Amino acid sequence: MGGNLLYENNSYLPPRHGKDVARVRSQQEYEELYNFALADNDTFWERRARSLLHWSRPWEKVNNSDFSVPRVEWFRGARLNAAYNCVDRHIITDHRNKAALIWQGEREMEVRAYTYQMLYNDVCRVAAALDGLGIRKGDRVALYLPMIPELVIAMLACARLGAVHTNIFTGYAEGGVKNRINDSGARIVITADVVMRGGKPKPLKANLDRILGQCPSVQKVIVVNRSDDSVQMMRGRDVWWQDFLEDFTLDADFPCVPMDANDPLFLLHTSGSTGRPTGVLHSTGGYLTYAAHTTQWVFDLKDSDVYWCTADCGWITGHTYLVYGPLALGATTIMFEGTPTWPRPDRYWRIVEKFRVNILYTAPTVVRGMMRDGEEWTRRYDLSSLRILGSVGEPMNPEAWVWYHTHIGKGELPIVDTWWQTETGGVMISPLPYATSLRPGSVTRPLPGIDADIVDRNGQPKPVNEGGNLVVRNSWPGQFIGVFQNEEKFKSYFDRFPGMYFSGDGARRDEDGNYWILGRMDDNINVSGHRLSTSEIESVLAAHPAVAEPAVVPVPHELKGEAIYVFVALKNGIDWTEALRSELRDFVRKNIGALASPEVIQFVDDLPKTLSGKTVRRILRKIAAGDDLESLGDTTTLARPEILGEIYLARNRLALGQPEKQAD
Ligand code: WTA
């Protein structure tokens, strides 16, 4: 290795070692690509699409998008199949026997590896079985599965048939699962008996059994046997996955269904600004091009690399950077079922050493957790195979950046802090590891082809170092093509600033053109990199019989980045008890999932409101964070400013572990 990264002008310079063989080799090459993509956008993307993917029919037009409609349309008229690109085309090359997917189970000795040929065999068989169950192009299939290879196989089997998979994170419980299934209208759900958590099986199929009576679209449930747990199988509705794979009458070479470039590849729900989750739709051609393109450039992915993205496939990062990007490139991708800390806080480093991982892509919350557990855990392992580190999901604070760089990167490795969203399909603003000078805490520069900007409320560009709204002026192939059955919601992303896509994030740009993400401008909360909507949590709480009115705000949290702080006014005559507090917490967990579990629930007599009756969350945010009473800003527009003092004192009592109200 080449020694520590040089530090100049508050920046870490890119590593010299490996530069000559990098995909993008220097700042100058980045600038050239950036300028070329700006000047001749269609040619730039056309070249990338042609060199990265196999198309069975060429396009008539590269970019037919128009934000004023809005319409996002790439590679019109072209045809391809995502499973063909991720699997089939590799088995006719010398990649046939390469490890495509290496799965590390929660237990150390549970490892399964699939070569491209083996992946092909299982994907074909499952596609044939789904076809036998009547699944056709355009049908939705919900995947409520743990991080096991069957999840990847199911995604690719859907892609093979042109069915639209809609993955549901296993951290969601009944209510969250029900909403997502019903919004998608899935005909089939694929699940498992259990999901493994900290060495113990937690029921998954049983969660479904409780809600399927309220999911009229679901006709069949396919159950993967993960742990021989006993489950109830409903005759005529539920079938075992394993029975599919043993059915030798199924077509072992089930053909790929040719897809239009703009047919949807998948649907993935993210948090919207309403109580209802937003069903983000991604295309087949544009999305897959962008997934492959960004995986190759941002991670400088080479054929010989072992690449590990730690995200769950229930989130967009797992879709793009565990499955579609790496497999489209014929790479070796690692999938880990467990968590960083079970059975000990060394799990990631064990895996890096065991498989000689070259590229590691994880989240700031994971890094902060490791900082807390101490670097001793990292020293016991040989991490010298690592070449590039990545981060995604929330702002990476400079302390965490430096720790990651020092203790994992040994002072030598670049960190690509990648900014993007479910809606963008892939990375938008990020360093290129061998070309970009790094500033801890900054996501640096937009990738070539991405015309980002920071604008004020009137859509005018903001001066250097002033915070504003992060927008993108031109479409890119990975951009979402719609919101499932909700045209209005899709429009709302383009309404705020005409001619631009608004990300919902705030950002500023420094004097060298580096972007610094300031967080969400809307009512999304980012807990451990998981995007949640405050209004979704509020609407659940409002449905509880004891609750008159809830207000949910983010509060800074050392490990999670942000945590959920709930203020609740109860109905008349209902007592503020600890029993009710834990009941409300359980109510949220049951109706959305453990990931939405409130950090603090504070009872209040009344919520602060404006004269027009709007709850003032801006002030509640500050109170929750423990800011001084004097710093709450303008309170003159409040109907009853005098209540703030008591809410504030009660907050401090709670923080000290005392009840809100002092005993009389
Ligand atoms: C935040 C995850 C700072 C941001 C891929 C965005 C980040 C939201 C970063 C999207 C980063 C993501 N630095 N903030 N590197 N990456 N975010 O849809 O607020 O789950 O809008 O997609 O996460 O979350 P989503």
- pLDDT tens digits for 413-449? 999 999 999 999 999 999 999 999 999 999 999 999 9
Q: If you search the block for the tokens 């004891």, which residue do you land on?
A: 546
Region 323-351 average pLDDT: 97
Region 44-64 average pLDDT: 98
Q: What is the DSSP letter of 422?
A: G
pLDDT at 466: 92
Ligand 1 pocket, Cβ-based, cut-off 6 angstroms: 270, 315-317, 392-395, 417-422, 443, 503-505, 517, 519-520, 526, 531
Q: Which helix (DSSP H) or strand (DSSP E) does residue 180 occupy?
A: helix 174-184
Tell whether the model's pLDDT for residue 410 goes beyond 50. yes
Region 73-89 average pLDDT: 98
Region 65-83 average pLDDT: 98
Closest Cα to atom 6 of ligand 1: 421
Residues forming beta bridges with residue 285, ordered by sequence position: none
Closest Cα to atom 7 of ligand 1: 394
3-state secondary structure 41-54: HHHHHHHHHHHHCC
Region 1-14 average pLDDT: 85
Tell me, what amino acid is at 227? S
The alpha-carbon radius of gyration of the chain (Å, integer) is 25
4 within 8 A of 411, measured Cβ to Cβ: yes
Tell whether the model's pLDDT for residue 10 goes beyond 60. yes
CA distances from 363 to 102, 309, 349, 373, 525 (A): 20, 10, 15, 16, 16
38/225 Cα distance (integer angstroms): 50
Tell whether the model's pLDDT for residue 68 goes beyond 60. yes
State phi, psi for 306 to the nearest 5 degrees: -105, 120
Q: Which helix (DSSP H) or strand (DSSP E) does residue 454 occupy?
A: strand 452-455
- pLDDT tens digits for 485-531? 999 999 999 999 999 999 999 999 999 999 999 888 877 889 998 88
Of the candidates 437, 370, 433, the one whose C-alpha atom is nearest the C-alpha of residue 406 is 370
Atom of ligand 1 nearest to the CA of 517: 3
Query: pLDDT band for position 600 (50/70/90)?
Result: very high
Q: If you search the block for the tokens 């089997």, which residue do you land on?
A: 157
Of the candidates 598, 421, 470, 443, the one whose C-alpha atom is nearest the C-alpha of residue 527 is 598
Distance of CA 117 from the midpoint of ligand 1 (Å): 35
Closest Cα to atom 8 of ligand 1: 421
- pLDDT tens digits for 128-165? 999 999 999 999 999 999 999 999 999 999 999 999 99
Q: If you search the block for the tokens 């990975």, which residue do you land on?
A: 478
Distance of CA 443 from the midpoint of ligand 1 (Å): 11
- What pTM does this model have? 0.91
The mean of the pLDDT values for the chain is 94
pLDDT at 148: 98
Region 552-577 average pLDDT: 93
Q: Among 517, 532, 534, 536, which is best to mutate for testing ligand 1, by the most ligand atoms less than 8 A from CB?
A: 517
Distance of CA 369 from the midpoint of ligand 1 (Å): 19
Token pair in block for residue 395: 């702002």
643 within 8 A of 635, measured Cβ to Cβ: no
Tell whether the model's pLDDT for residue 103 goes beyond 90. yes
Highest mean pLDDT of the ranges 274-283, 433-442, 601-610: 433-442
226/206 Cα distance (integer angstroms): 14
Question: Other CB atoms closer than 10 Å to residue 229's CB: what's the count?
Answer: 15
pLDDT at 1: 46
Tell whether the model's pLDDT for residue 173 goes beyond 90. no
Closest Cα to atom 3 of ligand 1: 395
Tell whether the model's pLDDT for residue 664 goes beyond 60. no
Helix axes 41-52, 285-298, angle to 10 degrees: 90
Atom of ligand 1 nearest to the CA of 417: 15
